[in-house]
Structure 1
Amino acid sequence: MASSTILSRKIITPSPPTPSSHRHCNLSFRDQTANTLYLPIAALYSKPENHTITQISNILENSLSKILYFYYPFGGRIKDNKYVDCNDIGAEYFNVHINCQMSEILSNPYNDAIEIVFPQNMAWGNSLSEERSSLLVVQLSHFDCGGVGISICLSHKVADGYSAFKFLGDWISMARDDHKLNFQPSPQFDGALFLPPIDNPPPMPNVVPDPQQCVSRMYNLSSSTLSKLKDSIVSTNPQIQNPSRIEVAMALIHKCGVDVSMSKSGVFRPTMLYQVMNLRPPIPLNTMGNATCLFSTIAMSIDKTTLPSYVGELQKAKQQLRHKLKQMDTNQLASHAIEKLKEIVNIANEDVFDIYFCTSLCTFGSHKIDFGWGSPLRVTQVKHPTKNKFMFLDDPSGEGINVLITLTEADMLLFQNNKELLEFASPVVQSLE
């Protein structure tokens, strides 16, 4: 069984120091209402040919210090859920040895094995605390085979998925451009201008791990498979125009979840899927922090869960939200977001619907996390502490989709044998042998 040994732990501070004019960074209302979990992202690489571990660590440390000057809130601390004190306390950086072959991680049928490359006793499932108040934690992992893992845990209070990958992309550019010294990223921490903070934000419900054991698996839908799904859906319902790869993938995975529910109970339960929408644009693309809102789709009968029907509902829900957003001022947007959060809590308590949550990180460049020693073999996250979560990422080609699915252990046993799933998707399992 794989175990890890911490070789070193450092605090990386911004260089040069953050100017006093940037010391105080207000949170937006979306930051205020964001949960206190961490966003965990890991990239795994085969053994670098032209870099030693010492060289890799030096590159990461030096470039992280430089990029934190531009992403100065990530080296600060949250104060009273109102602002970030950009005090240059810094980010945590771990250098860790993993005493196993990377193939043991990549060939494991469950994605849960990836947890070994994240800081232990911390990260993705815990809230900010006095003991662990760092907003950014990085770990460099190296395996017995020479393979390398790089993981980050970034507080959801200061970043959404878009911001996390923008930070990663700029950090990579800084690392690769280190000798030229002409790279100037331009993130803006001005979300409070577009989504003004509120005096009494509603308390976010604590994310309590499900009492049932959850597990995660990753499945791939290739570009050719997605094209076949699109063609099939459009031929069945010509009213559906240009379905996106995310829409068809989401419809398939959600339908397979419904199949699991029916196979357990023998009856159809109404189902609701919440999806995260990025608000950039209309908010500027370089605005960091949380700039998202939720929308939902409901299927009250089984005929509404067919792929054409569900894709149509997804498109309709997105169009309706975009139309509403154009008519909302910032106060109305805040009210809308808060009502959605309350709605989730109320619906969960009523236990009428099977509830699923979906986030897409596609097009954010997850397949391009190349610090200078090649493209990653796999980019992934850890499982969410609660069930029925679907996370979509670009696959290594950039054309297909990898979807990370977190379900209860019992549901996963049924899900992974679903015939429709296996017709269009394949488990992401690979070996370095």
Structure 2
Amino acid sequence: MASSTILSRKFIKPSPPTPSSHRHYNLSFRDQTANNLYLPIAALYSKPENHTITQISNILENSLSKILFFYYPFGGRIKDNKYVDCNDIGAEYFNVHINCQMSEILSNPYNDAIEIVFPQNLAWGNSLSEERSSLLVVQLSHFDCGGVGISICLSHKVADGYSGCKFLSDWVSMARDDHKLNFQLSCQFDGASFFPPIDNPPPMPNVVPDPERCVSRMYNLSSSTLLKLKDIVVSTNPQIQNPSRIEVATALFHKCGVDVSMAKSGVFRRTVLFHVMNLRPPIPFNTIGNATCYFSTRAMSIDKTTLPNYVGELQKAKQQIRYELKDMNTKELALHAIEKIKEIVNIAKDDCFDMYFCTSLCTFGSRKIDFGWGSPLRVTHVKDPMKNKFIFMDDPSGEGINVLITLTEADMLLFESNKELLEFASPVVQSLE
């Protein structure tokens, strides 16, 4: 079994230091209501031909210090769930050796093996303790074969998925010394102007790991498969216009989840699928922080569990939420967000529903993480602490989709043998041999 040895641990501070005028950063309402989990993403690379581990670490440390000047809240500490003290304590940085071949990780049928490249006991925690209060934690991992892994864990209190990918993209550009990017204009910490903070924000439901053991697997939907799914949906229901690849992929995995539930219980259970929508636009693309909202789709009877119906309901829900949000002022946006949080809490208490959550990082650039030694062999996340979670990412081609699925161990055994799943999706397993 693979094990890791920490070779060094340090804090990387912003350089130059954060100006005194920027030392106090107010959290937005959406930041305040975000849970305390970390957003974990990792990229794995084959053995770099022209860089030693020492050179790689130097590049990462120097560029991280420079980019933190522009992303200065990430090097600070949260105070009272109200603001970030941008005190330049810095990001936590680990240099770790992993005593196995990278192929053992990449060829493992379950994505859980990737956890070795993340700082231990961090990505799954639900609180920012005094001991572990860093908002950004980075780990450089090197394997016996010479392969390299780079992982970041960014507190959800200061970033959503879009912000995390934007930070990673800017860091990569800084590491490659890409002067074409105007870093001064690339990010703005102005979320509080769109979601003004409040004194007593409603808490999100506590993220308590499921009592049943959860596992994760990654599946790929190729561009040709996505086109086939779109054709099936449109030919069955011509009223559906231009379904997106995320819509048809979401419909497929939701339907497979319902199939698993019916296989276990023998009866149909109502389902609700919560989606995360990026609010950029209308909020500017360079706004860093949490700028998302939730909406949901439901299947209340078995006759609604078809791919065209799922896609149709998803399109209706997206149109409705956009209509609701388009003319809202900041106060109304906050009230809308509160109601959606209450909806999640109430449904979580209702045992009559099977709940699913999905979020997409597609088009955010997470597959292009080339610090200067080539493109990654795989980009992925750790499994979610909660079951029934789907995370969508661009595959290496940029046209297909990789989907990271977290289910209970018992459900995964049924899910991975689902005929409809196997018709359209392929497990992501690769070897360096």
What's the TM-score once normalised by structure 2's chain length?
Answer: 0.98
State the Cα distance separating 1:392 from its structure 2 match.
0.3
Q: How many residues are paired up?
A: 432
- The residue number in structure 2 matching 1:255 is 255
- The residue number in structure 2 matching 1:376 is 376
- The residue number in structure 2 matching 1:245 is 245
Q: Provide, for residues 356-414 of structure 1, a one-character-per-residue CA deviation record: whole Å limited to 9, x for no partner.
A: 00000000011101101111110000001110000000001010000000000000000
Q: Provide, for residues 25-81 of structure 1, a one-character-per-residue CA deviation record: whole Å limited to 9, x for no partner.
A: 111100000000000000000111111111000000000000000000000000111
In structure 2, how many angstroms separate the alpha carbons of the residues matched to 1:187 and 1:60? 20
In structure 2, how many angstroms separate the alpha carbons of the residues matched to 1:123 and 1:229? 34
- The residue number in structure 1 matching 2:94 is 94
Q: Provide, for residues 304-323 of structure 1, a one-character-per-residue CA deviation record: whole Å limited to 9, x for no partner.
A: 12000110000000000000
- Secondary structure in 2 matching 1:171: helix
- Secondary structure in 1 matching 2:209: coil
Q: Provide, for residues 271-308 of structure 1, a one-character-per-residue CA deviation record: whole Å limited to 9, x for no partner.
A: 00000000000000000000000000011011212000
Q: Quick check: 1:45 aligned with 2:79? A: no
- AA of the residue aligned to 2:205: P
In structure 2, how many angstroms separate the alpha carbons of the residues matched to 1:9 and 1:302? 53
In structure 1, how many angstroms separate the alpha carbons of the residues matched to 2:355 and 2:300? 12
- Please say if residues 173 and 181 of structure 2, whose CA atoms lie closer than 8 Å, have aligned partners that are also in contact: no
* Greater mean alpha carbon deviation, residues 397-406 or residues 321-330: 321-330
State the Cα distance separating 1:349 from its structure 2 match.
1.0
- The residue number in structure 2 matching 1:111 is 111
In structure 2, how many angstroms separate the alpha carbons of the residues matched to 1:271 and 1:233? 20
- The residue number in structure 2 matching 1:316 is 316
State the Cα distance separating 1:184 from its structure 2 match.
2.4
- The residue number in structure 1 matching 2:393 is 393
- The residue number in structure 1 matching 2:428 is 428
State the Cα distance separating 1:183 from its structure 2 match.
5.0
- Please say if residues 174 and 183 of structure 1, whose CA atoms lie closer than 8 Å, have aligned partners that are also in contact: no
- The residue number in structure 2 matching 1:283 is 283
- The residue number in structure 2 matching 1:161 is 161
State the Cα distance separating 1:202 from its structure 2 match.
1.1
- Please say if residues 204 and 345 of structure 2, whose CA atoms lie closer than 8 Å, have aligned partners that are also in contact: no
- AA of the residue aligned to 2:171: W
Q: Evaluate the alpha carbon distance shift between residue 247 and residue 68 of structure 1 in structure 2; reply closer, same or farther with a 3 A threshold.
A: same
In structure 1, how many angstroms separate the alpha carbons of the residues matched to 2:75 and 2:233? 47
Q: Quick check: 1:348 aligned with 2:353? A: no
**1:300-311 equivalence runs, <5 A:** 300-311=300-311
Q: Quick check: 1:136 aligned with 2:136? A: yes
- The residue number in structure 2 matching 1:222 is 222
Give RMSD over aligned pairs.
1.0
- Please say if residues 295 and 318 of structure 1, whose CA atoms lie closer than 8 Å, have aligned partners that are also in contact: yes
State the Cα distance separating 1:181 from its structure 2 match.
9.5
State the Cα distance separating 1:182 from its structure 2 match.
7.4
- Please say if residues 40 and 124 of structure 1, whose CA atoms lie closer than 8 Å, have aligned partners that are also in contact: no
In structure 1, how many angstroms separate the alpha carbons of the residues matched to 2:7 and 2:339? 47
Q: Which runs of 5+ in 1 are unaligned?
A: none
- Secondary structure in 2 matching 1:5: strand
Q: Evaluate the alpha carbon distance shift between residue 420 and residue 77 of structure 1 in structure 2; reply closer, same or farther with a 3 A threshold.
A: same
Q: Provide, for residues 149-207 of structure 1, a one-character-per-residue CA deviation record: whole Å limited to 9, x for no partner.
A: 000000000000000000000000000017x6975242100000011111110122221
In structure 1, how many angstroms separate the alpha carbons of the residues matched to 2:303 and 2:432? 44
In structure 2, how many angstroms separate the alpha carbons of the residues matched to 1:181 and 1:317? 39
State the Cα distance separating 1:129 from its structure 2 match.
0.7
- Please say if residues 35 and 126 of structure 2, whose CA atoms lie closer than 8 Å, have aligned partners that are also in contact: no
- Please say if residues 125 and 384 of structure 1, whose CA atoms lie closer than 8 Å, have aligned partners that are also in contact: no
State the Cα distance separating 1:235 from its structure 2 match.
0.7
- AA of the residue aligned to 1:3: S
**1:58-73 equivalence runs, <5 A:** 58-73=58-73
- The residue number in structure 2 matching 1:17 is 17
Q: Provide, for residues 212-235 of structure 1, a one-character-per-residue CA deviation record: whole Å limited to 9, x for no partner.
A: 000000000000100111011111
State the Cα distance separating 1:248 from its structure 2 match.
0.2
- The residue number in structure 2 matching 1:184 is 183
Q: Evaluate the alpha carbon distance shift between residue 422 and residue 410 of structure 1 in structure 2; reply closer, same or farther with a 3 A threshold.
A: same
What's the TM-score once normalised by structure 1's chain length?
Answer: 0.98
- Secondary structure in 1 matching 2:391: strand
- Secondary structure in 2 matching 1:368: coil
- AA of the residue aligned to 1:360: S
In structure 2, how many angstroms separate the alpha carbons of the residues matched to 1:232 and 1:389? 25
- Please say if residues 125 and 385 of structure 1, whose CA atoms lie closer than 8 Å, have aligned partners that are also in contact: no
State the Cα distance separating 1:112 from its structure 2 match.
0.3
